[in-house]
Amino acid sequence: MIYLDNAATTQMFESAVDVYKKYACEKFFNPSAGYNKSLEITHEINDVRNLIKKILNVKSGDVIFTGGATESNNLAIMGNKRNGKWEYVFSQGEHPSVYNCAKELELQGYKVIIVPLDKNGEIDYNILKTVVNNRTRLISVIHVSNETGIINDLNKINEIRLNYAPNALLHVDGVQAFSKIPLNIEKFNIDFYTLSAHKFHGPKGVGALYVKNIEKLKNIIFGGGQENGYRSGTENVPGIMALKNAIENIDIEKNLELVSRLNDAFKLELKSFDLDNKISFIKAQSPYILSVSFKGVNGETIMRALQDKNIYVGTGSACSSKKLGNRVLESMGFDKNSIKSHIRVSFDYTQNIEEIKFAAKEIYFTYKDLWEKVK
């Protein structure tokens, strides 16, 4: 099997599975209990918080563990609802777990502004300047696009916020960035940052939200007061500790260099067959994600045909792949026919160039066969 849908999920490290089993079967204690074994677990969980802050390059703030990125995004956004004439700003390029929060805020009567993308796929910074103001409560923007691999310029966004919306808080969905590109959250004054374990070889069902100033947030789940009252519910200790193991097994700089080579090799191999220039790529800053368009053939058809060859690619966000259209590509100016022809290829540093080249070759000949049938 050649798996090229790593933006959807990654295979859990065997070492992380071992850690998960250890904390599920041996060190299974509830952190909220009062005896020593439970207090040990509490200390170990706090060590994971510090590790996450180290990767984010922050010295202060809090880390709240959640059931995944969707919950973290919901907590950052819905936990910032306030009475009054506050406004909430999002980009058209957001993941469904953010975009649908924006739509829910709108349904509840809040003023929500959706900023389009420019032709390169980044949030349109010029338009962002015109829509934020002293009433802006929250700006929420994705760091690395899960659809295209485009990286939004957090420095520009922070400057716009400071100059035009000094009261606004900044939430960044960092799911496709955490553990994959170097981060410096403190530099950009980010108030909330989301991450998810299963995107970097940890388990599904566990994520976290970094919070710069916990007093700026309100909880949206009520219960026993875990996570300092901001996320009630018994902590997923096995998941949190397996998340830690996954982080500890990652070398960001080394992996980034390797994945860049994989991405380049894939494109070169595909181009070597494509003498008629029917295949095009969206130029992205993150090498982990590549959006590819195949003229005249439906991307989903290509995806399904590749399954028979044991090669797996995606057609966009796994959380919205069953829905028609693609608002991210639409906002970039692609027409409907072009959007239908896209697939998403996402790489991982555990792969090698030989299998990537083989996959590119098989993808091309799969496309060629389909093209001959539909042209």
Range of the domain at 357: 2-9+251-374
For the CA atoms of 345, 348, 351, 356, the dihedral, rounded to the nearest 10 degrees, stands at 20
pLDDT at 322 over 60: no
Q: What is the pLDDT of residue 233?
A: 86
Instruction: Tell which of 189, 216, 248 closes a domain.
Output: 248
CATH number of the domain enclosing 180: 3.40.640.10
Query: Residues 6 or more apart from 279 whose CB is under 8 A from it?
Result: 270, 271, 292, 293, 294, 295, 364, 367
pLDDT at 341 over 70: yes
Pair 238, 160 in one domain? yes
In the numeric block, the tokens 């502004």 are attached to 113
Pair 20, 144 in one domain? yes
Phi and psi at 220, nearest 5°, equal: -120, -5
Q: What is the pLDDT of residue 229?
A: 72
Pair 231, 152 in one domain? yes
Mean pLDDT computed over 287-310: 96
Instruction: Tell which of 193, 224, 248 closes a domain.
Output: 248
Q: What is the pLDDT of residue 222?
A: 86
What distances in angstroms separate CA 303 from CA 7, 72, 316, 371, one per listed residue?
15, 30, 11, 14
- Pick 326 or 17 by higher pLDDT: 17
Instruction: Tell which of 215, 248, 281 closes a domain.
Output: 248
Pair 233, 121 in one domain? yes
- Pick 97 or 229 by higher pLDDT: 97
- The pTM for the full model equals 0.95
Pair 163, 187 in one domain? yes
Phi and psi at 142, nearest 5°, equal: -75, 145
- Take residue 3 and report the two structure tokens written for it: 């798996």
d(CA 259, CA 265): 10
Pair 172, 321 in one domain? no
pLDDT at 178 over 70: yes
CATH number of the domain enclosing 323: 3.90.1150.10
pLDDT at 323 over 70: no
Q: What is the pLDDT of residue 321?
A: 47
Pair 181, 312 in one domain? no
Mean pLDDT computed over 339-358: 97
Pair 367, 292 in one domain? yes
Mean pLDDT computed over 113-128: 97
pLDDT at 3 over 50: yes
d(CA 281, CA 305): 20
Burial of 268 (0-12, 13-18, 19+ CB in 10 A): exposed
Confidence of residue 319 (pLDDT cuts 50, 70, 90): low
pLDDT at 315 over 80: yes
pLDDT at 94 over 60: yes
Pair 130, 204 in one domain? yes
Q: What is the pLDDT of residue 318?
A: 52
- Give pLDDT tens digits for 22-65: 999 999 988 888 888 888 999 999 999 999 999 999 999 999 99
- Give pLDDT tens digits for 242-287: 999 999 999 999 999 999 999 999 999 999 998 889 999 999 999 9
In the numeric block, the tokens 């030989």 are attached to 354
The SS3 assignment for 285 reads coil
Pair 182, 288 in one domain? no
Q: What is the pLDDT of residue 220?
A: 76
Pair 208, 255 in one domain? no
Pair 191, 259 in one domain? no
Q: Which residues are catalytic?
A: 319
What whole-number percentage of the chain has pLDDT above 90? 85
- Take residue 10 and report the two structure tokens written for it: 């990654």
Q: What is the pLDDT of residue 38?
A: 81
Provide the mean pLDDT of the chain. Answer: 94
* Domains contained in the chain, number: 2
Mean pLDDT computed over 188-206: 97
